[in-house]
């Protein structure tokens, strides 16, 4: 199945639903489903999640990409499973096997230094971009009336009361 509309039509047929009953089952407006089926709109994340909630046996990979079997083999692929899968091991620290024993201290696995550096680089890039955007918003265009007399033809200032002032370089 190469596109989402085909997969959606397959679901309607396979689960014996009309477009209206399918929209009601997943909790979306009928017009939203109609727009998707006609190709006018693309599915939102919210729409995908509603299908996932109503049909947890569906494979999210199949629903999103069209690859694999449409039914999940282990019947546990849900958005909850994806969210609960840890992205990396916990931050390193030491702890005892038993809170009340004098057993040997065991060290937790350390997060890869490359992962931390990559995250820090991404954060620094985002912060830098936000600062640059803020500076651009705060800056006022620098009009040099005296140095480039031929560049600016006129400046018009509009006031809230409907009047305006017009300035022309000499």
pLDDT of residue 69: 83
The predicted structure's pLDDT at residue 135: 74
Instruction: Indicate the burial class of 54 (C-beta count within 10 angstroms; 0-12, 13-18, 19 or more).
Output: middle
**Can you give the pTM of this predicted structure?**
0.42
Q: What is residue 113's predicted lDDT score, i.e. its pLDDT?
A: 72
Which residues have C-beta within 8 Å of that of residue 57, sequence separation ≥ 6? 71, 72, 75
CATH superfamily of 4-84: lambda repressor-like DNA-binding domains (1.10.260.40)
For the chain, list residues with pLDDT below 70: 1-2, 73-112, 136-150, 170
Residue holding tokens 């230094």?
Answer: 113
> Where along the chain do the CATH 1.10.260.40 domains lie?
4-84
Query: Pseudo-torsion of CA 3, 9, 13, 19, nearest 10°?
Result: 160
pLDDT at 149: 56
Distance CA 4, CA 165 (A): 56
């Amino acid at each position: 199945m190469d596109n989402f509309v085909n997969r959606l039509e397959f679901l309607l047929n396979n689960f014996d639903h009309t477009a209206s009953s399918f929209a009601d089952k997943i909790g979306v407006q009928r017009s939203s489903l109609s727009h998707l089926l006609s190709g006018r709109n693309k599915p939102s994340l919210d729409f995908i999640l509603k299908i996932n909630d109503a049909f947890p046996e569906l494979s999210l990979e199949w629903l999103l990409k069209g690859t694999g079997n449409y039914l999940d083999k282990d019947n546990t692929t849900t958005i909850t499973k994806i969210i609960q899968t840890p992205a990396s091991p916990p931050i390193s620290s030491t702890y005892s096997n038993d809170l009340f024993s004098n057993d040997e201290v065991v060290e937790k696995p350390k997060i890869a230094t490359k992962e931390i550096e990559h995250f820090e680089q991404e954060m620094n890039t985002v912060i830098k971009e936000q600062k640059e955007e803020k500076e651009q918003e705060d800056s006022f265009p620098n009009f040099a009336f005296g140095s480039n007399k031929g560049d600016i033809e006129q400046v018009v200032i509009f006031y809230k009361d409907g009047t305006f002032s017009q300035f022309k370089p000499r």
